[in-house]
Amino acid sequence: MSIQSVNPATGDVIETYKETSPQEIERVLATTQAAFAEWRRTPFATRARHMRNAAEMLKKRRADYARLMTLEMGKPIVQAEAEVDKCAWACEFFAEHAEALLAEQPRETDASRSYVRFDPLGTVLAVMPWNFPFWQVFRFAAPALMAGNAGVLKHASNVPGCALAIESVFRDAGFPRGLFATVLIGSSAVTGLIADRRIVAATLTGSDRAGSTVAEHAGRALKKTVLELGGSDPFIVLADADLATTAKMAAEARLVNSGQSCIAAKRFIVVEAVADQFIPRFVEELRARRVGDPLARDTQVGPQARVDLRDALHRQVEDSIRRGARRLLGGEIPSGKGAFYPPTLLTDVSEGMPAFDEETFGPVAAVIRAKDEADAIRLANNSQFGLGASVWTQDRARAERMAAQIESGVVFVNGIVKSDPRLPFGGIKRSGYGRELSEYGIREFVNIKTVWIA
């Protein structure tokens, strides 16, 4: 069996890779298990030295890795470069802070000494998506490896080059042979890996359907999971928002990564009092974004990652229009090569339409009118998802009151939702469970062990 890497901007095959055989998977798991046995005893200072080496590898090869991402999944090249930079930051952050984040915690009890310690679990399976092909992996791997674990990566099948490149970063940075390994396999092979006794836990970033499958099989094997799944993030515009700035940021929030981001704003909930002023500004901001060759430095919106994904997005748009939504911009598949889709704006969107109920994974914005602040919160929470949200207002106290009521793992006020190594990241409801990054993320794949001494 083989796996192909296809350029979504042209439809051309970049390279064909041989799928990892069952015999090779067995060798990977044996090697990784042996590497973990050594790595778990390695001092933090040594782990940190290797992780800083990984950061330097990323910086040194920044141009090559950015180009690889752009060719394999269509990310605009400037955004791809920024993604490599962010991966290096995560490596540096956890190299510097892991030891303190995992330090023993004394507890006062009736013992002469009692404390909590954090021990690594073993080899963690990472099932990762194509949309941020480097960042999604490094935000798992940097804390997990610094905690003393090993990792096996099953990456999305359309970014095999990225998967192998990431493995080479850790290998060339001096980590033990096999501590972090890539296997090129299809989704159907994941359940077998989860069942293997050498895999102790799994993390997945992807769709809620994929998350349910992984959670089901991990549950049967009594193995821990962390799931970061889909989102339909609300972007709430209140009457006192600076509309010009907010409209510009709305376009940025919707079109990041050509709209292919779990935390990209998708439902733009605007209070009635300013909806008629906000919508034309939003249309013009979306219209002004340059769509084109993702390797061109002035391109702001590239192709969708695959033609089938683009076509599925278009069906969501058409179905929403049939149900009463109104198209103000875009919404038509362009002629020519590639999986391109234009920035699209739908208004008069309401519950029961795909643009409201489902995750629209592409450059499609849905505007929903709210009567007032309370109605905006109701609409924001009327979703099966709960990943991120943003509130736009000049009243900070009001925004903080709303943040307490919004059902999501992340709330940003007057800023675009983003992940940051210093802050916990993850969702609720069908957006998943568990946290990545910060002290919460690095403690997901450890044994939180109580020690009591008489």
Which residues have a catalytic role annotated?
A: 228, 262
C-alpha to C-alpha distance for 303 and 294, rounded to whole angstroms: 7
- Check: CB of residue 183 under 8 Å from CB of residue 154: yes
Closest CA to 268 of 382, 373, 370, 342: 370
C-alpha to C-alpha distance for 154 and 444, rounded to whole angstroms: 19
Q: Please classify residue 99 by burial: count the beta carbons closer than 10 Å to its beta carbon, then call 0-12 exposed, 13-18 middle and 19+ buried.
A: middle
C-alpha to C-alpha distances, 239 to 39, 206, 243, 274, nearest whole angstrom: 55, 35, 9, 6
The residues, any chain, with a CB within 8 Å of residue 205's CB and separated by 6 or more, are: 127, 128, 129, 136, 140, 227, 228, 229, 262
C-alpha to C-alpha distance for 371 and 297, rounded to whole angstroms: 41
Tokens 């001494």 found at = 453
Closest CA to 367 of 282, 289, 241: 282
C-alpha to C-alpha distance for 347 and 320, rounded to whole angstroms: 10
Buried b (16+ CB within 10 A) or exposed e, 43-80: ebeebbebbbbbbebbeebbeebbebbbbbbbbbbbbb
